[in-house]
Amino acid sequence: MTGSPMLFYLFAAVAVGASLLVIAQRNPVYSVLLLIGSFGALSGLYVLLDAPFVAVIQIIVYAGAIMVLFLFVVMLLNAPHEDTDYDSHVHPLLRPGPMRFGAALALAFGVELVWALTRAGQSGAFAGGAVSSVAQIGHALFTDYAFPFEVTSILILVAMMGAVVLARRD
């Protein structure tokens, strides 16, 4: 770790705080912006981990490309205020359909998080500086991880074709 712990706590606090505020907003445009802030803080954490390439890619792909599309959709739908159509006194697990599903997902995620955190340190950590070199990342991507890489590209191709088919159906 090259940076000071202070910077780590700063970025971590911004990331967690912004992520929590994302779900606390009534206006979806603010949610999108807070999510961008959270991504920015995450990319700061990557820089501290000596992985500038990952940090910049995080900004380009998530903050720069995907979130622009999110913002686009939110603005075009023109739904600045989300109305809650459920009784806030009822326990989340007892609310109708999607709410119950979301609560179940959140629960599963919580269990997973506890499971992962109790096993900290056992993951296959990279050697120092292994992720800082673009050449090394490229090499690993096209040798050891060539199959997952190509499968992902097919997945994206399928999604693209789906979008074209949906857009042409009229």
Partner 1 sequence: MSPLLIAQIGLTLFVFVMLLSSAAVMVYVERKVAALLQQRLGPYLVGPKGLLQPLADVIKLMFKEELRPRAADALLFALAPIISATCAFAAFAVVPFGASTTFFGLLKIPLRLQVADVNVAILVIFAIASMSVYGIVLAGWSSNSKYSLLGGLRSSAQMISYELSYGLALAAVLLVSNSLSVTEIVNSQAGSWWHVIPRWSVFLQPVGFLIYMTAGIAETNRAPFDFPEAEQELVAGYHTEYSSMSFAMFFLAEYINMVTVSAVATDLFLGGWHGPFLPESLGWIWFLVKVGALLFFYVWMRWTLPRYRYDQLMRFGWKVLLPLSVVNLLVTAAGVLYFGL
Interface with partner 1 by CB under 8 A: which residues?
A: 29, 33, 36, 52-53, 56-57, 59-60, 63-65, 68-69, 71-72, 75-76, 132, 134
Burial of 80-101, coded b for 16+ CB within 10 Å and e otherwise, reads eeeeeeeeeeeeeeeeeeeeee
Would you say 14 or 99 has its CB closer to partner 1? 14
Q: What angle do CA 81, 85, 91 make, to 5 degrees?
A: 120
Beta carbon of residue 79, minimum distance to partner 1 (angstroms, whole number): 13
Q: What angle do CA 160, 166, 167 make, to 5 degrees?
A: 90
Q: Which residues contact 4 (CB under 8 A, 6 or more apart)?
A: none
Beta carbon of residue 32, minimum distance to partner 1 (angstroms, whole number): 10
Would you say 76 or 167 has its CB closer to partner 1? 76
Joined together, the tokens standing for residue 60 give 């380009």
Beta carbon of residue 153, minimum distance to partner 1 (angstroms, whole number): 15
Would you say 15 or 32 has its CB closer to partner 1? 32
Q: Which residues contact 2 (CB under 8 A, 6 or more apart)?
A: 48, 50
Beta carbon of residue 152, minimum distance to partner 1 (angstroms, whole number): 19
Would you say 68 or 111 has its CB closer to partner 1? 68
The helix, strand and coil proportions of the chain, stated in percent and rounded to the nearest 5, come to 75, 0, 25
Beta carbon of residue 157, minimum distance to partner 1 (angstroms, whole number): 15
Joined together, the tokens standing for residue 24 give 């606390």
Would you say 133 or 152 has its CB closer to partner 1? 133
